[in-house]
């Protein structure tokens, strides 16, 4: 019997979580999180990780299993998820992967291309340039060298920005030219469901979710991991802004508004990436019947 990986995609705040549970329950699937921050322990509020109640309904994988100090990447995610699925599909017919980390999703669905090695001298020069001139300067460099990657890169993640510049300078080619040139064939059927709402509705949901995170104890959660604030794991929306509040740079109200603003910006970046994938079938999250009908049809092919 054909094995199916249902992939539920969409921008932050669109409503993936509850729908993923109902889809998983209907098709007897367990859930794989494709969120690059939910993989870490001790930060469930700011990452909107599955709750104990949700995990009791459906088993979840790749949630809260890494220490904040551990390095993780899309390359490692591909390896570990593929190994997991090999064992999982021996006993199950359907799995569901959901989340908003674009490169993690592509890593499993398409495979990650092997990147060229960076010239050590180039790396040394680029890091020195970053330390001297800062992230905004490196973003300008990346925009000049590879405008396509600049449009989709996490601009708040220095490591990714720097690596993009390093690859461009080392090879003389764009970073983008090394991505997704060859799609790996997977030994299972991939069914991609994209969720989308009208922009005003989505932004309202994002704003509301940020308020709910604050009420749920986000500030205390950020305080509890403040000793790790310089790590890449916490260089993300929700934590960076609260760190500025805790450091006395911003008021709490301003920090909360910046979380909302940066979350909205991130949602647009996600959609820019997703819209390039013509294998995604798009639905309003409220149209659950049509989503289930589409999945049924794809499973019969």
Average pLDDT value for residue range 68-81: 90
Which pTM was predicted?
0.83
Per CATH, is 120-178 categorized as 3.30.70.380? no
Output the pLDDT for position 198: 97
The CATH architecture to which 4-112+181-300 belongs is: 3-Layer(aba) Sandwich (3.40)
**Strand order through the sheet with 189-195:** 60-61, 30-33, 94-98, 4-9, 189-195, 281-283
Q: List residues bridging with 283 in a β-sheet.
A: 195
127-175 residue pLDDT tens: 999 999 999 999 999 999 999 889 888 888 888 899 999 999 988 889 8
Beta strand segments in the chain, E:
4-9, 30-33, 60-61, 94-98, 189-195, 281-283
Domain residue extents for the chain: 4-112+181-300, 120-178
Write out pLDDT tens, residues 16-34. Answer: 999 999 999 999 999 999 9
Q: Return the minimum-mean-pLDDT range out of 6-10, 100-104, 195-199, 218-222.
A: 100-104
């Amino acid at each position: 019997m054909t094995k199916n990986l249902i992939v539920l995609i969409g921008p932050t705040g669109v409503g993936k979580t509850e729908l993923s549970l109902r889809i998983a329950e209907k098709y007897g699937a367990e859930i794989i999180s494709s969120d690059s921050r939910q993989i870490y322990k001790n930060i469930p509020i700011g990452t909107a990780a599955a709750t104990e109640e949700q995990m009791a309904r459906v088993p979840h994988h790749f949630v809260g299993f890494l220490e904040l100090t551990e390095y993780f990447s899309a390359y490692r995610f591909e390896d570990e998820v593929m190994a997991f699925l090999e064992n999982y599909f021996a006993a199950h017919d359907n799995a569901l992967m959901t989340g908003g980390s674009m490169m993690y999703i592509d890593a499993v669905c398409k495979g990650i291309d092997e990147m060229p090695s960076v010239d050590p001298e180039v790396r040394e020069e680029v890091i020195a340039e970053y330390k001297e001139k800062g992230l905004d300067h490196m973003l300008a460099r990346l925009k000049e060298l590879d405008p396509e990657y600049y449009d989709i890169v996490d601009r708040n993640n220095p490591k990714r920005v720097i690596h993009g510049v390093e690859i461009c300078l080392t090879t003389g080619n764009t970073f983008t030219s090394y991505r997704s040139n060859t799609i790996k064939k997977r030994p299972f059927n991939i069914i991609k469901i994209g969720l989308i709402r009208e922009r005003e509705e989505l932004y309202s949901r994002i704003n509301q979710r940020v308020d709910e995170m604050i009420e749920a104890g986000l500030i205390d959660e950020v305080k509890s991991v403040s000793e790790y604030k310089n790590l890449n794991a916490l260089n993300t929306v929700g934590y960076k802004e609260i760190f500025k509040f805790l450091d006395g740079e911003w008021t709490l109200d301003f920090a909360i508004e910046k979380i909302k603003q940066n979350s909205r910006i991130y949602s647009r970046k996600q959609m820019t990436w997703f819209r390039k994938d013509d294998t995604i079938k798009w639905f309003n999250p409220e149209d659950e019947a049509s989503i289930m009908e589409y999945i049924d049809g794809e499973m019969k092919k």
